[in-house]
């Protein structure tokens, strides 16, 4: 297992920036196999005023995006690559997405991804998002990295 990745290392590996960067820390990583990341969900998120004003809930599509960003970090760490101006990482598919509980301000979203397959540059990941040990969402995510 490799060491924890802080926000500065995440910013070196992912092209995403505020308000779309959805990973705060990598808790553990086993390159080529699995990664566990953390997203602190706060009331200051830009989507909460509109989703929903009287009952703030993190949109499911952003939970899936957070899992995809964790998967990107795993693939970058597995291949030794970093985000740069010559490559782009595309989200190419989602299978079996399920939402089990709402994610609300104050939650810590734990994102667990594992490599299921990597064939000809197409990565398939099993992904789970948990809050307090309970599954909030799960999906199989497919991604690929391409030259621009």
Domain that holds residue 126: 7-147
- The verdict on residue 1 lying in a domain is no
pLDDT reading at 28 higher than 60: yes
Based on the structure, what is the number of domains in the chain? 1
pLDDT reading at 67 higher than 70: yes
- The verdict on residue 90 lying in a domain is yes
- Is 16 designated active site? no
- The verdict on residue 2 lying in a domain is no
* Interval 84-118: pLDDT, tens: 667 788 899 999 999 999 999 999 999 999 999 99
Per the residue annotation, which of 16, 51, 54, 55 is the catalytic one?
A: 51
What's the pTM value of the predicted model, to 2 decimals?
0.93
In this structure, what token pair is assigned to residue 70? 């964790």
Q: Is 106 left (phi over 0), alpha (psi -120 to 50) or beta?
A: left
Domain with residue 45: its CATH number is: 3.10.129.10
pLDDT at 121: 85
- Average pLDDT of the residues in 3-29: 93
């Amino acid at each position: 297992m490799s060491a924890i990745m802080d926000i500065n290392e995440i910013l070196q590996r992912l092209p995403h920036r505020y308000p779309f960067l959805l990973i705060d820390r990598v808790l553990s990583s086993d390159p080529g196999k699995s990664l566990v990341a953390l997203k602190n969900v706060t009331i200051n998120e830009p989507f909460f005023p509109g989703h929903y004003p009287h009952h703030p809930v993190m949109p499911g599509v952003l939970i899936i995006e957070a899992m995809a960003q964790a998967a990107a970090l795993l693939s970058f760490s597995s291949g030794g690559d970093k985000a740069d101006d010559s490559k782009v990482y595309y989200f190419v598919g989602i299978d079996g997405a399920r939402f089990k509980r709402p994610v609300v301000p104050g939650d810590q979203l734990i994102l667990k991804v594992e490599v299921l397959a990597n064939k000809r540059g197409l990565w398939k990941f099993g992904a789970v998002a948990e809050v307090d040990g309970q599954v909030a969402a799960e999906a199989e995510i497919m991604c690929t990295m391409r030259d621009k």
